[in-house]
Amino acid sequence: MAVRAFGTRKRQVRGRWLLAGALMATTALVMVPKAEAQDRIDYFPHTPGLVDGYRIWAMSGNGAYVAGAALNPGPGIFRAARWDASGNVLDLGSDIGASSYVTGLSFDGGVAVGHSFFNLAPGAFRWTESGGLEYIGSLGGSRSWAYDVSSDGNVIAGLARRSDFRDRGYVWIKDATTGVVSNPQMHELPTVSGTISSIGIGGISGDARYVTAYEVDGLSVWRAYRYDVSDIENGAVTHIDIGSLGGGTINPEDISDDGKVIVGYADQALADGGHSRAFRWVEGSTGGYGGGALHDLGTLGGDSSWASAVSGDGAVVVGSAETASAEYIAYRWAEDTEMISVADWLRAAGVAVDVTLAEASATNQDGSVVAGSMWNADGERVPYIARVAARQGPGPNPAPGSGLMDVAEYNATLYGAAGIANAGEFLTWLPMNGAHHRPLMLTPSLSGDMCAWATGDFAHHGQSGANLALAEAGACVDLAGGSVRLGGAVGTTASWQALSLGGAANMVGQYVLGEMDWQPDGTPLLLSVTGMLGGWQAKIDRAYSNGAATAVSSGQTNATGGVVRVRADWLEAAKVGNTSINPWASVAFGALHVDGYSESGGPFPARFAAQNLGHTDIRVGVTAVTEFSSQTKLSTTLELAHRTGTAASAVGQVDGLFAFSLGGGTYGQTWGRLGLELDHKINDAVALSGSVHLATNGRDPSVALSAGIKGAF
């Protein structure tokens, strides 16, 4: 059974916005792991914020995949496609030159169904990860369409053409042998009237017991049914006419998990106004239209309403309805509240709402989550998720656990919180390319064979907005007649970064560092090995919109990182006046681990998985050292850096809603850096140093300042 976001969903004749379709147009793909009754999702017209090249019709029950079609701009055709949680697309194939579409996914996303148009004749297919795409045939004619699939991927519902050129509903069952003669796995769905001119298949329940559909006879009279197809292999199919509201049109849109509740929309009798009204059919109930089981759910003061989805338990209905001012807005219907706007439902839970919620197109098992589209402050129609928690707890945010999420904005904050891994990377490399941007032997030469130093750094990373600071103390000793220098240091580093909407991410921790320099006798080479290991504690306050207010979800985690660098300097390779030219090269390897963590507070806290990042850093440079006097010298460094490694990611779960996987993969980045450093010896035992480094867009801070003092004894 392929499942749409948050609940069951039927065919949309009037055209609705699908949450999953809108998400594909944002920078991140968000999907819902909750499995509901079925997922038939049809074409949705373009609206600002969506990408014309995508059409999304289905979502797997576990939330790992969405599927539909991707436009190939070359030949101008659509290709059946499946996207994973990171937005990676897989072309499922089909005939060359034919547009193809996925309309249903199994619970785990391993089976996809749909149809391909080859020579203008649609052919239904079933695709599996192991076997690829397989056409499932027809009822003896030349055309077939697949609309939905059961949870296990073994039963398909759709339309197919018979040899007499009539289109009929079918149920295809894997490995069945009792279907039509030309196709033993495909069973024709018997029609109720023998004068059927058209039939519309809505979908199939997850356990493959029920199929929902409407039939239109030769007199253009619409009838909606629930078919029990559990014994269709033996030729037994029963049906229930779910009735009408007195008008000529009825369209079932959704069915509850147990098949006892069906929702949709139907025309009233002309005497009652003839308007389209949302309905809820409840098996065995009375008191509906004409005393039957079909109940008119009313409106929000206008004439019309439409039902889009029902909760898995059948108790909650969502859709859109007309107000007295002829505005169409999202509603939520339940027995205790009847029809109220989704905005008022949220306000009753303490959530401030200052935007127009245009429609509700999906809901979850118990109706506590509603999804749809809204008009944001920029006049764009964007996806939202609304939730009212059953239990209200204390806290600074209105009704913690309840809220209104702007999905695109919220996704950006998820990835922003993942930037803690970037900050951890910057802190890992800060001592290496900050306080220790040059070997210890290239610091001011003082008398004595032992030394001690203290250094402070401040840096700003312009691209991310992160600020970094370092404080370090260390000591060294010269051995082997001064050809070897050993040094060690301890330090503390911190970063602080402003996130969107007033959020913040801060890290603080300590590190240890060791270095060995060696200048072989009689050579101009200086070889050095430097290593550091550090640990940091991070606190993240992630802010996001909660309707008209701002909510904050907070979390804490730990990070551990280290770097090993090997460097070679060619001392005084050339000399011009009182300036020596010293080329050098280095290669370094770094690693960072960030623990997973869970947020608390706010209506939409998330859980983030652990991250492991690895990096390789290669640099070549040249340092020109100009001696102004025996006490003062200026070093000017030009370097080119290239780093490859694992990119930061945000992988995890928004509790009760959806899984997310943003960023990640690998990167390679090259940038340049300019450094100026002034060294001044106060006397033979004490020296001061100050430096500034400027870098182009890359992994080094945009600007870094350093000041230090060194003593010898």
Pick the closest to residue 530 from 428, 670, 446, 454 (CA basis). Answer: 428
**How many residues would you count in the chain?**
713
The reported pLDDT for the residue numbered 21 is 33
Assigned token pair, 34 = 């909750």
Q: What is the pTM of this model?
A: 0.70
The 3-state DSSP class for residue 3 equals coil
Q: Helices 407-418 and 420-433, interaxial angle, to 10°?
A: 30
The 3-state DSSP class for residue 22 equals helix
Pick the closest to residue 299 from 291, 287, 311, 307 (CA basis). Answer: 307
DSSP state of 648: P
> CA angle, corner 494, sides to 490 and 495, nearest 5?
150
The 3-state DSSP class for residue 289 equals helix
Pick the closest to residue 691 from 497, 363, 436 (CA basis). Answer: 436
Pick the closest to residue 17 from 407, 364, 358 (CA basis). Answer: 358
Q: What's the rounded Cα separation, in Å, for the pair 600 and 662?
A: 21
Q: What phi, psi does 548 have (nearest 5°)?
A: -85, -5
Residues contacting residue 20 through CB under 8 Å, at least 6 positions apart: 4, 5, 31, 41, 56, 59, 66
3-state percent helix, strand, coil for the chain, nearest multiple of 5: 10, 60, 35
For 472-482, how does the pLDDT look when each residue is reduced to its tens digit (9 = 90+)?
Answer: 999 999 999 89
> CA angle, corner 255, sides to 282 and 213, nearest 5?
100
Assigned token pair, 520 = 């072989």
The 3-state DSSP class for residue 703 equals strand
Contact 649, 421 (CB under 8 A): yes
CA dihedral defined by 392, 397, 398, 402, rounded to 10 degrees?
A: -60
Q: In this structure, which amino acid lies at residue 17? A: W
Contact 365, 378 (CB under 8 A): no
Q: Burial of 338 by CB count in 10 Å (0-12 exposed, 13-18 middle, 19+ buried)?
A: exposed
How far out from the chain centre does Cα 535 lie? 29
Q: What's the rounded Cα separation, in Å, for the pair 207 and 155?
A: 9
Q: What's the rounded Cα separation, in Å, for the pair 561 and 614?
A: 10
Contact 614, 591 (CB under 8 A): yes
What averages of pLDDT result for each successive group of 10 residues across the chain (713 residues)?
33 32 30 28 30 53 64 68 65 70 82 78 84 90 88 91 89 95 93 73 83 81 90 94 91 82 92 95 93 95 91 89 94 94 93 90 80 82 81 47 83 79 93 95 91 96 91 96 95 94 94 97 95 96 89 94 98 95 98 94 90 96 96 97 93 79 88 97 95 96 96 92
The reported pLDDT for the residue numbered 155 is 94
Place of tokens 């002034």: 678
DSSP state of 402: -
Q: What's the rounded Cα separation, in Å, for the pair 388 and 343?
A: 11
Is the Cα dihedral 114, 117, 121, 127 positive or negative? negative
Integer CA distances (angstroms), 673 to 203, 423, 457, 679, 704, in order: 61, 19, 17, 19, 11
Query: DSSP states of 526-549 as a string?
Result: EEEEEEEEEEEEEEEEEEEEETTE
Assigned token pair, 253 = 């849109």
The count of C-alpha atoms lying within 13 angstroms of the C-alpha of 663, restricted to the half-sphere facing its C-beta, is 24
Please give, one letter per residue, the 3-state secondary structure of 563-587: EEEEEEEECCCEEECCEEEEEEEEE
Q: In this structure, which amino acid lies at residue 626? A: T
Q: What's the rounded Cα separation, in Å, for the pair 82 and 340?
A: 36
Place of tokens 């000529």: 248
Q: Which helix (H) or strand (E) holds 577?
A: none
Residues contacting residue 408 through CB under 8 Å, at least 6 positions apart: 22, 23, 26, 27, 49, 382, 383
> CA angle, corner 519, sides to 517 and 520, nearest 5?
135
Contact 282, 294 (CB under 8 A): no
Is the Cα dihedral 547, 550, 551, 552 positive or negative? positive
Q: What's the rounded Cα separation, in Å, for the pair 40 and 156?
A: 12
Q: What's the rounded Cα separation, in Å, for the pair 389 and 368?
A: 7
Neighbour count for residue 234 (Cβ, 10 Å): 9
Strands (E), 364-399: 369-375, 381-387
Q: In this structure, which amino acid lies at residue 178? A: T
Q: In this structure, which amino acid lies at residue 665? A: G
